[in-house]
Structure 1
């Protein structure tokens, strides 16, 4: 079983519009409401493939109750922790060419008692887990060291720990020696303090993170694919998407695919890339099921030209979307 923790979950409303015109009245051509947040999306992707998962989420106010109901409707085992703050709502405005304008609330503040209840819920539930995935931004009131401290307690118990976050929270979490971290290009550059312009830069930055404690680094690069760096070496892969509908949650689907693939190198990377690409082809923050995944389109290279430049224009939007979830 894979346990996910999302400290800052959300209700994600996706509104499709023919054209986004600032200051005008725009009629929606479609809409959907999904449970959101990076860890929540990982659990949703796993559940869509009938894989055992449990989502630990803070539940605040009526929005929190609705979030849990939506998760349960998708067949996800939910460990809801009552908190004093509210569960946030996010809105994505999607145009026909795939351009997404995303508006995210900051989320409700978590106080000390809230955080203690969440940690207890994770540690109690993790007894039956193979992996614990801590994903997403930290809501107001939560210290940058939260994932580090939680990861250290999980590691002491022999539980594999995955981190998908950014900024100081990612830097601090490396001290807990996570089994896997999954930064995107922007997060990777921020964590190491230098630009990421080529595959060689990605590998160099990944090795820096490994030197600080991460066992494996899965770097998602949007339209440029992904780079996997671990004790076995470096692998690069890509899965082209001819027509994307939404990049929201694509990085989360990639992480779920990697974990579903058994974290065994090349095969796991194929799963990661195929699940991530499938998510891009779907509307809103919908997670891909088995029928959406095309493994045949994935190309994994054991030896890639590391001097290859990354296509900054194509991946920037996706990375920003991943970053702010």
Structure 2
């Protein structure tokens, strides 16, 4: 089983509008509500693949109730930590040409007691799982070292940790030695404080994060594929991403594919690429099923082209 932890989940409400005009009353021609948050999306992708998953979430108010119901309908088990605040509701305004305008509130502030209860809940579930995916930004009330404490507790229970976060929480967590961290290329460049114009530069940057504690580094390179750097060396892979319909949740689907395939080595990287490429061919935040995957189109090399220019140089 794969457990996910999303400290700041959301209920994502999307409204279709003919055009976005400031200062006017906009009449929506459609609306929908979806579960939101990076770890939530990982659980949704794992469930779509037919693998058991549990999402540990701090939930509060009516949005929290609806979020849990929507996840249950998609085959995700929810372990809720009840909080006094209300789960945030993100708003997206979608125009016919595909332009998406989003309003994301900061979300509730967790108390010290709620923070401790969330950690304790993850620890109590950790003995039953192969992987714990900890994803997204930390809400107000959680210190940057919160993920590091979670990694320590999960390792003590025998679980492996995949971490997808950025900002101050990332360097704080590295010393706890997460088993794999996932970043995009811009986040990797930010973490090492310099541009990464080539694949070789990205590999060096990933190795730097390994010296700081990450056991493996999984990097999304956009159109340039994905990179995995671990003690076994560097692997690079690509998958065609033509006919892109939506990139929402694609990186989360990719992490789910990586963990489903064991979370290590070229086979897991190939699974990550297949899941990510399938996700961008689907509308909105729909997660791919096994029928959507095209594994024969994935290409993996353990001899990465170091001089490959990266898109925009990040």
Distance (whole Å) between structure 1 residues aligned to residue 215 and residue 302 of structure 2 = 19
Give the 5 Å matches for 1:79-118: 79-95=79-95, 98-118=98-118
Q: Is the 8 A contact 1:97 1:245 kept in 2?
A: no
Query: Which residue does 2:218 correspond to in 1?
Result: 218
Please list the CA deviations of residues 53-74 of structure 1 after superposition, one character each: whole Å capped at 9, or x if unmatched: 1100001111111111111111
Please list the CA deviations of residues 180-235 of structure 1 after superposition, one character each: whole Å capped at 9, or x if unmatched: 00011121112111112221121011001100111110001222211110111111
Q: Is the 8 A contact 2:15 2:29 kept in 1?
A: yes
Query: Which residue does 1:319 correspond to in 2?
Result: none
Unaligned runs of 5+ in 2: none
Question: Higher mean Cα deviation, 244-253 or 57-66?
Answer: 244-253
Query: Which residue does 2:179 correspond to in 1?
Result: 179
Unaligned runs of 5+ in 1: 317-325
Query: Which residue does 2:61 correspond to in 1?
Result: 61
Distance (whole Å) between structure 1 residues aligned to residue 38 and residue 273 of structure 2 = 17
Query: Which residue does 1:320 correspond to in 2?
Result: none
SS at match of 2:127: helix
Q: Cα offset for 1:23?
A: 5.2
Give the 5 Å matches for 1:184-263: 184-263=184-263
Q: Cα offset for 1:289?
A: 1.4
Q: 1:136 to 1:199 in 2, by over 3 A?
A: same
Q: Is the 8 A contact 1:92 1:284 kept in 2?
A: no
Please list the CA deviations of residues 226-269 of structure 1 after superposition, one character each: whole Å capped at 9, or x if unmatched: 11101111111112222222211111101000001112411111
Q: 1:62 to 1:153 in 2, by over 3 A?
A: same
Q: 1:29 to 1:288 in 2, by over 3 A?
A: farther
Question: Higher mean Cα deviation, 124-133 or 277-286?
Answer: 277-286
Question: Higher mean Cα deviation, 300-309 or 124-133?
Answer: 300-309
Distance (whole Å) between structure 2 residues aligned to residue 295 and residue 16 of structure 1 = 34
Residue 288 (str. 1) matches residue 250 (str. 2) = no
SS at match of 2:153: helix
Q: Cα offset for 1:17?
A: 5.0
Normalized against structure 2, the TM-score is what? 0.94
SS at match of 1:86: coil
Q: Is the 8 A contact 1:98 1:246 kept in 2?
A: no
Distance (whole Å) between structure 1 residues aligned to residue 306 and residue 21 of structure 2 = 41
SS at match of 2:139: coil
SS at match of 2:65: helix
Aligned residues: 314
Distance (whole Å) between structure 1 residues aligned to residue 195 and residue 17 of structure 2 = 35
Give the 5 Å matches for 1:163-174: 163-174=163-174
SS at match of 2:183: coil
Q: Cα offset for 1:96?
A: 5.4
Residue 160 (str. 1) matches residue 160 (str. 2) = yes
SS at match of 2:34: strand
Query: Which residue does 1:123 correspond to in 2?
Result: 123
Q: Is the 8 A contact 1:10 1:37 kept in 2?
A: yes
Q: Is the 8 A contact 1:37 1:136 kept in 2?
A: yes
CA RMSD in angstroms, aligned pairs only = 1.9
Distance (whole Å) between structure 2 residues aligned to residue 77 and residue 244 of structure 1 = 30
Normalized against structure 1, the TM-score is what? 0.91
Residue 52 (str. 1) matches residue 52 (str. 2) = yes
SS at match of 1:44: helix
Q: Cα offset for 1:19?
A: 5.2
Q: Cα offset for 1:32?
A: 2.9
